[in-house]
């Protein structure tokens, strides 16, 4: 492991906006914030939005800046990437952007029933090979985890450049009877202004757009 990566891991441990519960804490039920994020951590009653697989936290930070009266948590297991978002938030004094380093498959061990108001998935790995299908963030196993933590009427947003993941997710949602609020196979050609959906663009999204690659978008609510 490179020295720079080790340095970032050490810095993550000192950042007040980064939480890194152990797998044992989550599985044993010892993670104290589960069900108590508003009261014990944020100390307010503002809505909580998660970005799953947040990487360097571009979307988390942009959402937080546009909505200062809401709380945003970027979730990722890769600490060296997450470090960038956390450090930028501290440098910019963005106090409503925080980061949680956990495996996403343990998400329902970190949040309590109906504790989350919305979920974003910005360009997740589509895991096209069948043997990796259970790693897709819209696989039914993950949807069941989201059902446990989302409030009624909570919205899940998916932006992707992957035609495969877009079609796969549409099929899963329709088969399971979930409510699709918005669907576009070419977002910037079919919608003029969807607020943060179109106004926030990550580095990779801008790269895809410059290559004239369609961006797909889904907004949906899970049947609880």
Which has the closest alpha carbon to 82: 2, 160, 196, 5? Answer: 5
Q: Which one is catalytic: 4, 44, 125, 141?
A: 125
Q: What is the 3-state secondary structure (H, E, C) of the chain?
A: CCHHHHHHHHHHHHCCCEECCCHHHHHHCCCCCCCCHHHHHHCCCCCEEEEECCCCCHHHHHHHHHCCCCEEEEEECCHHHHHHHHHHHHHCCCCCEEEEECCHHHHHHHCCCCCEEEEEEECCCCCCCHHHHHHCCCCHHHHHHHHHHEEEEEEEEEEECCHHHHHHHHHHHHHHCCEEEEEECCHHHHCCCCCHHHHCCCHHHHHHHHCCCCCEEEEEECCC
Confirm whether 125 is a catalytic residue.
yes
Positions annotated as catalytic residues are: 125
């Amino acid at each position: 492991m490179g020295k720079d990566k080790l340095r970032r891991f050490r810095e993550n441990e000192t950042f007040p906006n980064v939480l890194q519960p152990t797998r044992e804490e989550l599985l044993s039920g010892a993670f104290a914030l589960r069900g108590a994020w508003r009261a014990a951590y944020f100390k307010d009653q503002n809505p909580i939005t998660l970005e799953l697989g947040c990487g360097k936290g571009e979307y988390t930070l942009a959402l937080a800046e546009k909505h200062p009266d809401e709380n945003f948590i970027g979730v990722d297991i890769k600490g060296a990437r997450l470090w960038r978002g956390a450090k930028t938030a501290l440098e910019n004094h963005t106090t409503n952007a925080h980061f949680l380093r956990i495996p996403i498959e343990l998400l329902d061990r970190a949040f309590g029933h109906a504790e989350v108001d919305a979920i974003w998935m910005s360009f997740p790995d589509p895991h096209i090979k069948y043997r990796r299908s259970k790693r897709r963030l819209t696989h039914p196993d993950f949807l069941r985890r989201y059902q446990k933590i989302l409030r009624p009427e909570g919205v899940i947003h998916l932006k992707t450049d992957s035609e495969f993941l877009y079609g796969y997710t549409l099929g899963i949602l329709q088969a399971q009877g979930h409510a699709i609020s918005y669907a576009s196979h070419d977002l910037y050609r079919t919608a003029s202004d969807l607020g943060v959906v179109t106004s926030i663009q990550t580095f990779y999204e801008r790269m895809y757009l410059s290559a004239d690659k369609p961006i797909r978008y889904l907004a949906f609510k899970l049947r609880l």
